[in-house]
Every structure is written in structure tokens, then in C-alpha cells.
Amino acid sequence: MKRISLLFIFLFALSVSTMVANDGPVQHVNGTAQKVQRKPSGRRSHFDPVKFKARFDAYVIEHLGTNKQEAEKILVPYHEMRQMQRNNDAIIMRMQKKQKESECDEKEAAKVLNEVLKLREKNSQLELNFYKKLAKTVSAKKILHFQAIEKYYFMHEMKRLSK
């Protein structure tokens, strides 16, 4: 009985040492062991915002069926609006993280919630103002088409980035 226990301990230690020597888990494919590829560590190390914006602009120009000058009537204010929304979203994230890390009472939580709701309302107001201003210079049909392009593009990019 002692020998069987020692044998199991030895086999377990051997399998652990093999994983450590291979620097991670191994996947067996067609009878051969292959190292499992891990995604790069770090926060969004594979995301480049400049390239993302350039791809988005090119995609909009291509699918909106306009030239670059007309597309810029939409894209320049759009990027300004999105930057303001991202700034508000960053504030919301910091407030929620700070509230989550520290234990606060109901009164403090209500204050944070009110500020978060105000910032979300501000984001909605920014978007509403953007589309109202845009309607003065661009046709409603192009605006609706832009909204559909934007939605499709972001879904497509999220799928691409998750791979």
C-alpha cells in the first residue's frame, strides 16, 4: 500500500514538473503535444486606438458612399463627441472603483449613484446634440446610414479583437 501511494505521489510530481518545464499547459493534437498559446498579458496590449480610429474612418467613408470631405462633416464632430463621452465614462469607472474598494455608507453610495446618473445623462445629451447639429448639415438618410455603419463596425471589431 505504501508503494502505491509513493507511486501516485511520484506520478503527480512528474506531471507537475512537466507542466513547469513546458512553461504552461500542453494540448495534445494528433498524438503530439503542443504548447497552449496564451493571449498576451497586459491591458489591451493588442489594441491600438490610432489604428482603430483610422480603420473606423476608412470604413465609414467606404460604406457611407461619400468622399472624404463630406465624411469629415460627420467624423470630426463624432470623434469630439465620443472623446467627451469616453472622459465621462472614465470618471464613472473611477468613481465606481473607488466606491467598490472603500466601504461606504448608504448616503455616500447614493451620492456616487447620483453623480454616475448625471454623467450618463450628460453622455446621452452629448449624443443627442451631436445628431441635432448633424441634421443641419447632413441628410437624415445619411445620418441613419451612419448609425447603422457605426453599430455594425463596433460589433465587427469586438469579434475581431476577441480572437
State the CB neighbour count (10 A cutoff) for residue 22: 13
Q: Are 88 and 119 in contact (CB under 8 A)?
A: yes
Task: Give the residue among 86, 71, 68 at the shortest CA–CA distance from 145.
Answer: 71
The reported pLDDT for the residue numbered 104 is 78
Predicted confidence (pLDDT) per residue in 102-120, tens digit? 777 888 888 889 999 999 9
**Which is more confident, 45 or 48?**
48
Please determine, for residue 38, whether its predicted confidence score (pLDDT) is greater than 90: no
pTM of the model as a whole: 0.66
pLDDT at position 11:
54
Greatest mean pLDDT range, 12-21, 40-49, 58-67 = 58-67
Res 48 pLDDT > 50: yes
pLDDT at 101 over 60: yes
State what percent of residues in the chain have pLDDT above 70: 72
Q: Is residue 69 located within the same domain as residue 28?
A: no
The per-residue DSSP string of the chain comes to -HHHHHHHHHHHHHHHHHHHHTTS-EEEETTEEEEPPPPPPSTTTT--HHHHHHHHHHHHHHHHT--HHHHHHHHHHHHHHHHHHHHHHHHHHHHHHHHHHS---HHHHHHHHHHHHHHHHHHHHHHHHHHHHHHHHS-HHHHHHHHHHHHHHHHHHHHHHH-
Question: Over the chain, what is the mean pLDDT?
Answer: 80
Residue 57 lies inside a defined structural domain of this protein = yes
* pLDDT reported for residue 29: 54
**122 lies in some domain:** yes
Q: Residues 85, 115: one domain? A: yes
Domain assignment present for residue 157? The answer is yes
Answer yes or no: do 24 and 84 share one domain.
no
pLDDT exceeds cutoff 80 at 15: no
Q: How many domains does the chain have?
A: 2
Residue of higher predicted confidence among 14 and 87:
87
Instruction: Please say if the pLDDT value at position 12 is more than 90.
Output: no
Which range marks the domain in which residue 86 is found? 49-162
Residue 42 lies in a domain: no
Is 101 among the domain residues?
Answer: yes
Same domain, 54 and 121: yes
Residue 40 inside a domain? The answer is: no
**25 and 98, same domain (yes or no):** no
